[in-house]
Amino acid sequence: MSNAQQQSATSDAASGERYDAIIIGAGIAGMYQLYRLRELGLSVRVFETGTDVGGTWYWNRYPGARFDSESYSYGYSFSEDLLKEWDWSEHFSAQPETLRYLNFVADKFDLRKDIQFNSRISTATFDEAEDAWDVVTDDGTTARARFLITAVGPLSAHTLPNIEGRDSFEGLSCHTARWPKEGIDFAGKRVGVIGTGATGVQVIQEIAKTVGQLTVFQLQPNYCAPLHNSKIDSKTQAEIHASYPEIFDKCRASHGGFIHQPDPRSAVEVPAEEREAIWEKLYSEPGFGIWMGNFADVLINEESNRLMTEFIVKKIRERVKDPEVAEKLIPKDHGFGTRRVPLETRYYEVYNQHNVELIDLNENPIERITPKGVKTRESEYELDILIYATGFDAITGSFDRIEIRGEGGKTLKDKWADGPRTYLGIQAAGFPNLLTLVGPHNAATFCNIPRCIEQNVEWVTDLMGYMRDKKYTRITATKAAEDEWTKHVYDIASLTLLSKTPSWFTGANLNVPEKKQTFLAYAGGSPAYTSKCDEVAANDYEGFALE
């Protein structure tokens, strides 16, 4: 810590330590924001619930957890040294390696000295007289800072199902986002999994290799496509290192921050034979090409989406031997890609195993969880282990779990009760000096996330440098700018099929029935979002009131 930093982090009896900025969360966003603000010469404290860095990759230790983004498109791009020093071993890195990478970053930049672990912030209150945020942690620690920056992650507030008897189960039960560090031994065990989103798919295909008996409790299936992961050989490793600038340029130019670029044509205008050949190629290639590199209108035009859906349905039928099971695995309520596509490795083949059973909860709902297992309307399934892959109170949930009070003592939770309202997904009117990295209605919510995190962090860092230079102490989004951005978010979302399909993007969550269903992400794409942010900054932070 520099002298200036030490001076500004002096102790204050009323409101604890004082900093220029407090960051909530030491995941990918919080770590990078800390690095950049320290570079700016600010005093910064990060509060993190976990015992170490990593965020998503710290908590989600379930077997099979791995990237769906190409590893080399996911790591930080800001440091050439870091890019040189780190080799990814697989095209789609598994969680242990990703967590090792984030630890490597924390060590390299000596980040831990400014992070307080085991500390969950429970309240954050804006002091209007002083232009400062006061935070309190669960254990009563207090601290104050001019700026409060949330780096809480869009998918970190995990949710358990509200099923009667849940706590009575006598075996081992666990949500995938709270996986024990020591791991779980599945060999020969009777295991149940509730949930078949991207997480459920990864965990199911992995544990199916060793379990004694696996029972999958599925509400709505998802359209999954092959990941095609492989090791990175030394020749490819050298090519990756030599082409980082092009890789990141490609990501910057793409809608969702991936290396995959869409085919600009409409699927319906391409001759059937050619279209089929392109889809076969995408299905045989690694990664999200099939979702993000498809024809440009597959997520917009219903007929294009119907044709693509037919293609994927055919694949599911080809891969699952029992036609009745195959039918259960085919979604009937939405088209391909209108919910997040889980990428898989022999997921569908799991259902060809004699020791795997798929329970369609629409036909045979769960009545209760018993000390022995899961009781559905038709049978009781005795289990040793029950896994909840039941998802998250997405995007706004992690904000709701903190009591955040802005001007007039109003809470952010109340403000967003009918859906989030923000300016650029980075600020909410009435909450001065609160900056929400990867907040609702921010392009980073629909993105190969580190790419958009870097944009968010760099924009916030520039803003803070600007405020310091101009001696501003308060920034608030104006109501007019917030109204306009919120309307734009919904207008853009309404053009896509994603907004018409309930999923975590739209706030649908069976386990949080009070959550208002509105579109929570930003569907306009990362390049458009970045241009808008740059334009706002170039116009002296137009749409914000600076005092």
Residues in the chain: 547
Give yes or no for residue 27 binding ligand NAP (CB under 6 A).
Answer: no
Provide, rounded to whole angstroms, the least separation between the CB of residue 148 and ligand NAP: 25
Check residue 390 for interaction with ligand NAP (CB under 6 A). Answer: yes
User: Closest distance between ligand NAP and the C-beta of residue 227, in Å?
Assistant: 9
For the chain, the helix, strand and coil percentages under 3-state DSSP, each to the nearest 5: 35, 20, 45
| Site stretch for ligand NAP (CB under 6 A), options 125-133, 198-206, 267-275, 416-424 | 198-206
**Least spacing, CB of residue 391 vs ligand NAP, in Å:** 3
Strand pairing report for 44-47 and 115-116: parallel
> Which residues are registered as beta bridge partners of 136?
123, 142
Strand bridging mode 213-218 / 356-360? parallel
Which residue is listed with tokens 């308060």?
474
476 touches ligand NAP by CB under 6 A: no
Task: Specify the residue, 306 or 340, whose C-beta has the smaller distance to ligand NAP.
Answer: 340
Single residue of 322, 484, 510, 535 touching ligand NAP by CB under 6 A: 510
Our finding on whether 511 is near ligand NAP (CB under 6 A) is yes
Beta bridge partners of residue 411, listed in sequence order: 405
Q: Which is nearer to ligand NAP, 213 or 501 (CB)?
A: 501
User: Quick one: CA torsion of 73, 74, 80, 82, rounded to 10 degrees?
Assistant: -140
Residue number with CB closer to ligand NAP (478 or 511): 511
Is residue 228 near ligand NAP by the rule CB under 6 A?
no
Structure tokens at 335: 């088209």
DSSP summary character for residue 392: B
* Residue 402 binds to ligand NAP (criterion: CB under 6 A): no
Q: How far is the CB of 206 from ligand NAP (least distance, A)?
A: 12
**Residue 194 found at the interface with ligand NAP (CB under 6 A):** yes
Contact indicator for 53, 112 with CB cutoff of 8 Å: yes
- To the nearest whole angstrom, how small is the minimum distance from the Cβ of residue 43 to ligand NAP? 34
- Contact status: 195 vs ligand NAP (CB under 6 A): yes
What distance in Å separates the CA atoms of residue 285 and residue 278, rounded to the nearest whole number? 11
Nearer to ligand NAP, 50 or 502 (CB): 502
Closer Cβ to ligand NAP, 150 or 448, answer by number: 448
CB–CB of 430/410 below 8 Å? yes
448 binding ligand NAP? (CB under 6 A): no
DSSP SS3 for 420:
coil
309 by DSSP, 3-state: which? helix
351 lies in the site for ligand NAP, by CB under 6 A = no
Would you count residue 50 as binding ligand NAP (CB under 6 A)?
no
Terminus-to-terminus CA distance in the chain, angstroms? 29
Amino acid at 157: A
CB of 443 to ligand NAP, least distance (A): 15
User: By CB under 6 A, is residue 199 in contact with ligand NAP?
Assistant: yes
Is 335 among the residues that bind ligand NAP (CB under 6 A)?
Answer: no
CA nearest neighbour of 68 among 274, 262, 292, 325: 292
Specify the stretch interacting with ligand NAP by CB under 6 A; choose among 61-69, 318-326, 352-360, 432-440.
61-69
Which of 16, 262, 293, 391 is close enough to bind ligand NAP by CB under 6 A? 391
Binder among 197, 293, 373, 543 for ligand NAP (CB under 6 A)? 197
Least Å from the CB of residue 270 to ligand NAP? 28
| The binder of ligand NAP chosen from 8, 93, 202, 345 (CB under 6 A) | 202
* Residue 340 binding ligand NAP, by CB under 6 A: yes
Separation CA 362–CA 322 (nearest Å):
19
Amino acid identity for residue 131 in this structure: D
Is 389 a binding residue for ligand NAP by CB under 6 A? The answer is yes
Pattern of binders to ligand NAP over 150-189, x per CB under 6 A?
-----x-----x----------------------------
Q: Could you tell me which stretch among 82-90, 143-151, 305-313, 389-397 binds ligand NAP (CB under 6 A)?
A: 389-397
Does residue 49 come out as left (phi exceeding 0), alpha (psi in the -120 to 50 range) or beta? Answer: alpha
DSSP string, 187-238: BT-EEEEE--SHHHHHHHHHHTTTBSEEEEEESS----EE----BPPHHHHH
CA-to-CA separations, 398 to 72, 116, 150, 401, 452, in angstroms, rounded: 28, 19, 10, 5, 19
# binding residues, ligand NAP (CB under 6 A): 24
Residue 406 or 450 having the CB closest to ligand NAP: 450
Q: How far apart are CA 286 and CA 462, in angstroms?
A: 36
State which H helix or E strand residue 60 sits in: none
The first and second tokens of residue 372, run together, are 């022995």
By CB under 6 A, tell whether 219 contacts ligand NAP.
yes
What residues are paired with 167 via a beta bridge? none
Q: Which two tokens stand for residue 246?
A: 């092009």
Report the relative pairing of strands 385-388 and 190-194 from DSSP bridges: parallel
259 φ, ψ to 5°?
Answer: -80, -5
- Nearest distance in Å: CB 510, ligand NAP: 4
Give 76 or 133: the residue with its C-beta nearer to ligand NAP: 76
Using CB under 6 A as the binding rule, whether residue 200 contacts ligand NAP is answered as yes
Nearer to ligand NAP, 112 or 515 (CB): 515
Note the residues at the interface with ligand NAP (CB under 6 A).
66-68, 155, 161, 194-200, 202, 219-220, 340, 361, 389-392, 504, 510-511
